[in-house]
Structure 1
Amino acid sequence: MQRSRMGLTQDQAGAAIRVSGSLIAAIENGRLVPQPDTAAQLDELFGTGDEVQRAAEEAREDARPPWLRPWTEHEQRAVLLRTFEPMLIPGLLQTEAYARAVLAGGRLSPAEVDRTVQVRRERQAATVDRDDPPMLSAVIGEFALASGPPEVMRDQLKHLLDMSQRPKVQVLVVPRSAGLHAGLAGAFVLATLPGRGRAGYVDDQLRGRLVTDGGDLDRLEVSWEIVTGLALPVNLSRDLIAKAINDHD
């Protein structure tokens, strides 16, 4: 490998591009794919043109499950994303520690957790964290605010509260007092695309599914109207999130 040919240790290579030696190790053993800027710095360090960048892009594409790829293309093109999660914090608003805690509960291997977390970070970077993000409206069940290790949930809820202050992020909470409702049938996302196109995404125990059928999308729209009607207003939702942070102290 190029690093060895140059006589550099992992720590030295990391220091040269201002990352940790452990990150270089994770890249070399395949646990992580370098982000585009890191890949570009490695190419510059090693004098390899765009070899690392091309390999990283291929690995990044391979890391996304085939059933997820069509949805992420819609997700990145969307001008509006509406997501409902009755039990969890939505993926685009998750911290890395929270995502790892959720994924670890699924008995995935460490390598599978690493790959899934990286894909999630890249989806965040391509949507809510980009310079011109889509509008994101997230409706969350109150249960999601209370479930998880306290040390993880504190940071996650603070992040959620911070995100809710962004101009293009709206977070609403459906309180437990709402009782049984249609949204409890499962999480879903609706994407409004340029030119008023629509796409949806639903998840289950095995994999996610892209929804493009007009009738199915209409039914998801009805479910969206139900859960938003049950949700607390923005300010009261923020108050409930702040209270949940204190409850985890």
Structure 2
Amino acid sequence: MNEVLRVALARSGHTVESLAERVQVDPKSVSRWIAKGRVPHPRNRHLTAVALGVDPAKLWPDPYRQRGKAWFRPWEEIEREAVALRSYEPLVVPGLLQTEGYARAMLHVGGVNTADEVERIVLTRLERQTILTGPRPPFLVAVIDEVVLRRLVADRAVMHDQLRHLIALTERHPHVQIRVIPASVPWHTGLAGPFALARLADGHEFAYLDNQLRGEIHAAHDDIATLGRRWDSVSGEALPREASIDLIKEVAQSWT
């Protein structure tokens, strides 16, 4: 018996049937989650937690007992299930594309994280990246601003290695696209902040927004639609794939 889930269901005012309708599963599945302690699919875990107003890690702690930040683990689950990922970053290389040296240097800045925390987060980040080289990788399109390529993190060697890594990823893996918005482009909608969109095999979409404290996952249709329009605007400002690679190569050479 998943007593935590049973209590959360009762407090929410939902019934097994109404929750099943909200999550779009058979009521028998919800009953098994409660009575037999079955752990649902990541998508269903997240939608259930949203419907009940409870952290999914409290309802099903076992899948979230991993390294890294607890609030980020639900998004890691979604990334692993995604068939398509779209990411926009105006200031740093996205975590899925970072080298170990770049990630470690960035996390050390300002002394915000302890040495142990840095190592745990770096290891988790490298483990996340295995989805790009696994048997069923998602199609990833990452849009970054040119300033990301030119802002020094750690030293010139780290920057050169990071940019060479971006080039290698795009050349070896056709399911990875990195597109760059040139510095000559004026203010655009993406500069309001980074975001990522994930689409699962069943068509459901989730969004991830980051801030100074923690990230947030959104699944409401209106929110997804709004970010989808912002994605169209942002990606429209970016150079085509080959031109982006050429620019990355040019900037990588400047770091030697």
TM-score (norm 1): 0.74
Cα-to-partner distance string for 1:104-135 (whole Å, 9 max, x where unaligned): 1141111010010011011111x112122110
1:158 correspondence with 2:164: yes
Conserved? CA contact 2:64–2:70, under 8 Å: no
Task: State the match for 2:129 in structure 1.
Answer: 124
Matching of residues 44-193 of structure 1 within 5 Å: 61-107=65-111, 108-125=113-130, 127-148=131-152, 149-165=155-171, 166-193=173-200
TM-score (norm 2): 0.72
Match of 2:252 among 236, 245, 249: 245
Task: State the match for 1:8 in structure 2.
Answer: none
Task: State the match for 2:213 in structure 1.
Answer: 206
Conserved? CA contact 1:83–1:138, under 8 Å: yes
Conserved? CA contact 1:60–1:119, under 8 Å: no
Corresponding residue SS for 2:242: helix
Structure 1 unaligned spans of 5+: 1-57
Corresponding residue SS for 2:160: helix
Work out the CA distance in 2 between the residues paired with 1:59 and 1:200: 20
Q: How far has the Cα of 1:76 moved from its partner?
A: 0.5
Work out the CA distance in 2 between the residues paired with 1:110 and 1:73: 26
1:226 correspondence with 2:233: yes
Work out the CA distance in 1 between the residues paired with 2:115 and 2:203: 40
Task: State the match for 2:48 in structure 1.
Answer: none
Number of aligned residues: 191
* Aligned-residue RMSD, C-alpha: 1.5
Match for 2:158: what amino acid? V
Q: Once superposed, which parts of structure 1, at least 4 consecutive aligned residues long, lie more than 4 Å away?
A: none
Identity fraction in percent: 42
